[in-house]
Structure 1
Amino acid sequence: MLGKHSKVCFGASLGALVLSVILAAWGFPKIVDKQIQKNIQIDNSSKMFEKWRVLPMPLQFKITMFNVTNVEEINKGRRPQLAEVGPFVYKEYRERTILGYGENDTVKYMLKKTFIFDAEASAPLTEDDVVTVINFSYMAALLTVNDMMPSLIPTLNKGFEELYSGLTDAFMTVKVRDLLFDGIYLNCVGNQSSLGLICAQIKADMPPTMRLAEDGNGFYFSMFSHLNTTPTGPYDMVRGTEDITELGHIVGYKDKNRMSAWGSDPYCGKLNGSDGSIFPPIDEKNVPARLYTFQPDICRSIYISFVEKTSIFNMSAYYYELSESAFAAKSANPNNRCFCKKNWSANHDGCLLMGLLNLMPCQKAPAIVSMPHFYLASEELLDYFNSGINPDKEKHSTYIYIEPITGVVLKGVQRLQFNVELRQMNIPQLEKVPTGLFPLLWIEESAVIPEHLQAELRESHSLLGYVEIVRWGLVAVAIAALAISAYLVTKTGALPICPRNNNTVSFVLRPAPNGIEVNKG
């Protein structure tokens, strides 16, 4: 009877072992992956949905100005001297408005940003501080006209002198609040006929940095007020309910599936990556070499490159960083050739220098972006300045730390600098200035996951740790049960795994056939 029971136990434990191995190798990971997907997908039922729709904490939006300290010397042809003033810190709130759900598992939404000055974080600086900077809109207008019809410059400049009251050179002294958000007043009432042409063109184009004055007699120019007033989009994003590896991928912007600013080239026009707020989980066996984010303000996707696996906030993380290839010249990265539209300087043929992107095709203005202080850009750009430009990786790089299980950004910093060419022209304001790329300001957009969300993630990691214990604990118990039952089966002889000795005497000692004995005497 004991042998019969031991055989049953052995079979049951063997089956339990097979089942536990299947669960450990396939079942538990599948269940865990499904639960993670359920929690992070863009769906009303997920834990992440409301955090994605309304960002639970503000980002930090920092602006650092390049104050020009030797205007008179520059007007005589000497190299610029700059001094950083900043950062001026703003709280950036983000909220998405869902417009609907589309085919291919997508959600359509608008993104609204709101910027509020953070006096405490900016102190002792205030928005009423005064800086002397390059007159960005004036230079942009002159360069645009110069590229189309240089002979018009002297005539139109008379109108610009009335548009920008008191215009004596390519620089302006202004309150920070006016330059950034409130607006610098541009006067459209004057005696020059060219002023009417300029104002009519502004009204026809109405670039985002301009807004009509209340009295209708002018405009206000500011760098970022449009971000505070106009939602961007609509975006079409993959929700991740069908394929979690596609979570957050932007597949449409303003109802287009590619960016047309760069012509028909499939590389530069491709909508690729997320909006920077959400990424899919990272498979530790297949870590992507690059992660892409779509940046509508520059009409392209930017990639960051994998650097290392590390830890932050007592959690494992993957560290990605913007590399020099992203804004590389076409000689260093041939794929970037389609971002090249026009030289910023007659000294160079082909594309822009290393580390620059011309926004003319995107924003219809000759603005050029780079990393702050021309970090990762050509050293030729640095030679233009006497002082004030000092690229530093710690201060000027762009990077993120991503938690691999959920794809949550634990910490991220994105930095960008806005520049315009200061070009020598045959007008009083520019007849002696040295030609070169001149920075106006640089921005830093950063986020750190708040402590209560860190705690939630760590709690989730603990639960996953318990699941792992149970997962392999079941296998261990099954192995132990199989070992015990195998021992019992062997001991009772229920299975002929190790035959007992009562029938194993050598044939030499067995009775011979017909009763004949052998090997006796």
Structure 2
Amino acid sequence: MNPRDYRGQGAREPCVGSEYLSAANRARSWNYVKQKGVSMGLGLYDQDVYVVKTAGELLFDGYEDNMVLMGKQLFDASEVPFDRVGWFYTRNNSADLIGHYNVHTGVDDIFKIGSMAEWNYKPRTDFFAGHCGMLNGSAGEFYPPGLTKDVPIQLLYGQEEEVAGIRGYKYAGGPRTVDNGTQFPETACFSAGEIIPSGVLNISSCRFGTPVFMSFPHFYGADEYYLNQVEGLNPDKSKHQLYMTMEPTMGIPLDVAARFQLNIMLESHPNIALYEDVPRTFLPVLWFEQHVTMTPEFSGEIAQALSIPTTARICGIAMLIVGAILIAWTPISRLLAQKRRDAVKDNAGTGHQEKTLLQQNLTAAILVASAPEKDPKLGKTIAEAHPLIECKMVRLADSDNTKS
């Protein structure tokens, strides 16, 4: 919704005068004399239940009104912090009325990332009592990682969807989102004392006492009571449902459609002439949509980030396999090396034995050559007593003959 699209453009349309209704609603708890004073003030300026303005005036530009000027004179400036009337007047490119938000960064607890900690440096608001005034949920930019289908994020899980090639979980607003205690007793603190059918949320305290109620567009999902009061309503899920598609691993919004409708409650005020005969009616004023979808360029970066854990696991498994091979190869390589060393030692020992035996044979041959024919102790010749030496001698003799 771009305010420049509406500024000063369009035909003049009738709309409920919220400033008059706000004055009458605030006077409801006053005494009779003060209420009649408000009634006279409205009659003095010849006001009507409806005002006729352009869309730009009703939304962003605002318009001057004598009741606002009089209110600034009679009440404290903090109670009337504007000089014109407009639903979003002074809110364009301004944080003065929106306030300051503090959100968790996830440094201390990753599952708190994006959740709101304070608004205007307070952990709760003054708009609602009890737990309804607490700051719960996210500012919308970030959500905790590791989302699962069975854990709602203030919205209900619907289905899986693919946005720009990224798989995500789609959550949607349901009856509890805008309940006022009718279906869910724990949301009764949002009703501000108004007993009304389900499907609308009383946000009068957020609009300076103006009886404003929030619902889904065209009262989508609300009680039939509201649809029967106004003509031209046609709730359509595809057009009017609030939803958010989240990437569950990283908690990044992929597709968001925030759709809400502002409604004004008209009702009778016996002591204020302008509203003394008005039936209780919830009139839609406007509905808006903020739709954000993931672009293909950014989805590519998301896909790369999502692939990091898988890539890391593959690399980790590969490193484990390589490490196991290296660990197993170390004793095997040592065993093979030891076998090679043993083989070398065995070869060296065999050569030494052969050399020693040859030396012994030579020595024996010399002894035979120099010894007498018979051993005086044995009564035999050396050859008879030592046939092995004789064999060696013969072999040596054969070798000598061959050489000669």
TM-score in terms of structure 2 length: 0.71
Q: 1:380 and 1:147 mapped to 2: Cα distance?
A: 27
Letter in 2 for 1:171: Y
Of 91, 104, 107, which residue of structure 2 is paired with 1:241? 107
Q: Is the 8 A contact 2:214 2:260 kept in 1?
A: yes
Q: Does 1:411 align with 2:262?
A: no
Give the match for residue 18 of structure 1.
none
Deviations 1:144-174 (A, max 9, x none): 22343466555423322455xx63x311211
Q: Against the structure 1 CA distance between its residues 251 and 137, is the aligned structure 2 distance closer, same or farther, given a 3 Å change threshold? A: same
Q: Against the structure 1 CA distance between its residues 383 and 272, is the aligned structure 2 distance closer, same or farther, given a 3 Å change threshold? A: same
Q: What secondary structure is seen at the aligned counterpart in 1 of 2:91?
A: helix
Give the match for residue 198 of structure 2.
354
Letter in 1 for 2:152: R
More strand by share: 1
After the TM superposition, which of the residue ranges 437-446 and 448-457 deviates more from structure 2?
448-457
Q: Does 1:230 align with 2:95?
A: yes
Q: Is the 8 A contact 1:162 1:188 kept in 2?
A: no
Q: 2:132 and 2:40 mapped to 1: Cα distance?
A: 39
Of 290, 293, 317, which residue of structure 1 is paired with 2:152? 290
Give the match for residue 244 of structure 2.
400
Q: Is the 8 A contact 2:180 2:199 kept in 1?
A: yes
Of 12, 17, 21, which residue of structure 2 is paired with 1:135? 17
Q: 1:446 and 1:202 mapped to 2: Cα distance?
A: 39
| 1:335, distance to aligned residue in structure 2 (A) | 0.6
Q: Aligned pairs, how many?
A: 331
| 1:179, distance to aligned residue in structure 2 (A) | 0.9
Q: What secondary structure is seen at the aligned counterpart in 2 of 1:184?
A: coil
Q: Is the 8 A contact 1:246 1:280 kept in 2?
A: yes
Within-5 A mapping of 1:91-170: 116-117=3-4, 119=5, 127-149=9-31, 152-163=34-45, 167=47, 169-170=48-49
| 1:379, distance to aligned residue in structure 2 (A) | 1.0
Deviations 1:38-71 (A, max 9, x none): xxxxxxxxxxxxxxxxxxxxxxx2xxxxxxxxxx
Q: Against the structure 1 CA distance between its residues 205 and 235, is the aligned structure 2 distance closer, same or farther, given a 3 Å change threshold? A: closer
Q: Is the 8 A contact 1:140 1:420 kept in 2?
A: no
Give the match for residue 126 of structure 2.
260
Within-5 A mapping of 1:502-517: none
Q: Against the structure 1 CA distance between its residues 280 and 258, is the aligned structure 2 distance closer, same or farther, given a 3 Å change threshold? A: same
Give the match for residue 144 of structure 2.
280
Higher relative contact order (CA 8 A, sep 6+): 1
Q: Against the structure 1 CA distance between its residues 135 and 363, is the aligned structure 2 distance closer, same or farther, given a 3 Å change threshold? A: closer
Q: Does 1:333 align with 2:178?
A: no
Q: Against the structure 1 CA distance between its residues 221 and 460, is the aligned structure 2 distance closer, same or farther, given a 3 Å change threshold? A: same
Q: 1:352 and 1:364 mapped to 2: Cα distance?
A: 20
Q: Is the 8 A contact 2:28 2:269 kept in 1?
A: no
Q: 2:121 and 2:150 mapped to 1: Cα distance?
A: 28
Q: What secondary structure is seen at the aligned counterpart in 2 of 1:233?
A: coil
Q: 2:319 and 2:95 mapped to 1: Cα distance?
A: 56
Letter in 1 for 2:170: Y
Q: 1:368 and 1:320 mapped to 2: Cα distance?
A: 23
Q: 1:416 and 1:424 mapped to 2: Cα distance?
A: 26
Larger radius of gyration: 2
Q: Against the structure 1 CA distance between its residues 203 and 259, is the aligned structure 2 distance closer, same or farther, given a 3 Å change threshold? A: closer
| 1:360, distance to aligned residue in structure 2 (A) | 2.8
Q: 1:334 and 1:466 mapped to 2: Cα distance?
A: 48
| 1:420, distance to aligned residue in structure 2 (A) | 1.3
Q: 1:277 and 1:162 mapped to 2: Cα distance?
A: 49
5+ long unaligned stretches in structure 1: 1-60, 62-89, 91-115, 190-194, 213-219, 292-302, 344-350, 495-521
Give the match for residue 172 of structure 1.
51
More helix by share: 2
Q: Is the 8 A contact 1:162 1:187 kept in 2?
A: no
5+ long unaligned stretches in structure 2: 339-404
Q: 2:200 and 2:245 mapped to 1: Cα distance?
A: 25
Structure 1 vs Structure 2 CA RMSD = 3.3
Q: Is the 8 A contact 2:219 2:226 kept in 1?
A: yes
Q: Is the 8 A contact 1:370 1:418 kept in 2?
A: yes
Of 73, 78, 89, which residue of structure 2 is paired with 1:200? 73
Q: 1:425 and 1:206 mapped to 2: Cα distance?
A: 22
Q: Does 1:187 align with 2:66?
A: yes
Letter in 2 for 1:337: A
| 1:424, distance to aligned residue in structure 2 (A) | 3.6
TM-score in terms of structure 1 length: 0.57
Q: Is the 8 A contact 1:128 1:175 kept in 2?
A: yes
| 1:429, distance to aligned residue in structure 2 (A) | 4.4
Give the match for residue 442 of structure 1.
287
